[in-house]
Structure 1
Amino acid sequence: MDRTIRTEIVIDAPPERVWAALTGFGSYGAWNPCIRRVDGNAGVNQILHITIRFGWLPSIRFMARIDRFRRNEILGWRAAFLFGLLEGRHWFEMHPLDAGSTRFVHAETFSGILTSPFLVLFEGVIRASYEAMNRSLKTIVE
């Protein structure tokens, strides 16, 4: 059964500025408390090497493939964990609002046999980490 964690925030900057920060992977370590490092290029089917940290949990490093990519609109990737028993489809959406603001959506859908036990244990810390990233993104682009 698939389960999604979805967060959002309004950022007082246009989608183009939000997009520039999201695709500037080299600077993630300076501002992003959740996705600490991304090595690779932003583009369709590109492979990324990602290091994440959810709150008090140790860092996790994994490979992902970009499967959603529309400039200034959506960036997303897919990764498998634990021999495919857990899969994550992570994405960011940028929706333009009046007066040059952006509704930023940050979400992930988990699937696989380990989804329920994984989220029972970690959903709260994952959601809090995504919200912390959203607030940091808002700070750097406003």
Structure 2
Amino acid sequence: MAFTIHTQVRIQAPATRVWNILMDFDSYLDWNPFIKSIQGQAVLGAKLKALIHLPGNKPMTFKPTVMSLVNEKELSWLGHLGIKGIFDGHHRFVLKSISPNETVLEHSEEFRGILIPFFRKNLEKNTQEGFEAMNQALKQRAERL
């Protein structure tokens, strides 16, 4: 069973600026309403510790593994809820430079596992809202700097 959330936002800022904000984990608490913190290094294969706050839910901590890292283009990680295969999420941020001062952020996650049917309604509403809130906050921060 799989379910995917895909969001995107057009940002009036260069990809370098958007990327730098995205990779500045120490500043997430200052601006990010969805991912409150990330600890660890964005290095391929590294483990991160992420505190996620879904609208309408209590904050949750995940310990995903960095799966892809392409400077100024893509960051993704794979996390599990409990045992691998029960509820897994492959979270991706992809930056597409439209022009020197315009970037599209594609923010998505593919969820897989046997628990997906039980979480689907929450994913469709709260998780989607969390992604969109983060996208808008990142857009505002990048366009303001």
Q: Tell me the TM-score normalized by structure 2.
A: 0.94
1:28-75 deviation line (CA, Å, top 9, x unaligned): 011000000100111211110000000010000110110011000000
Q: State the alpha-carbon separation in 1 of the partners of residues 100 and 67 from structure 2.
A: 30
Q: State the match for 1:135 in structure 2.
A: 136
Q: State the match for 2:8 in structure 1.
A: 8
CA-based RMSD:
1.0
**Aligned-residue identity in percent:** 31
Q: State the alpha-carbon separation in 2 of the partners of residues 136 and 130 from structure 1.
A: 10
Count of residues paired in the alignment: 142
Q: State the match for 1:81 in structure 2.
A: 81
Segments of 5+ residues of structure 2 without an aligned counterpart are none
Q: State the alpha-carbon separation in 1 of the partners of residues 43 and 100 from structure 2.
A: 29
Q: State the match for 1:46 in structure 2.
A: 46
SS at match of 2:63: strand
Q: State the alpha-carbon separation in 2 of the partners of residues 114 and 82 from structure 1.
A: 11
Distance change in 2, residues 1:121/1:135 (3 Å): closer
SS at match of 1:83: coil
Q: State the match for 2:67 in structure 1.
A: 67
Q: State the alpha-carbon separation in 2 of the partners of residues 141 and 96 from structure 1.
A: 14
Amino acid at match of 1:26: D
How far residue 99 of structure 1 moved from its aligned partner, in angstroms, is 4.6
Q: State the alpha-carbon separation in 2 of the partners of residues 135 and 50 from structure 1.
A: 20
Q: State the alpha-carbon separation in 1 of the partners of residues 101 and 55 from structure 2.
A: 32
Q: State the alpha-carbon separation in 1 of the partners of residues 34 and 133 from structure 2.
A: 7
Q: Which stretch of the first structure deviates more once superposed, 28-37 or 41-50?
A: 41-50
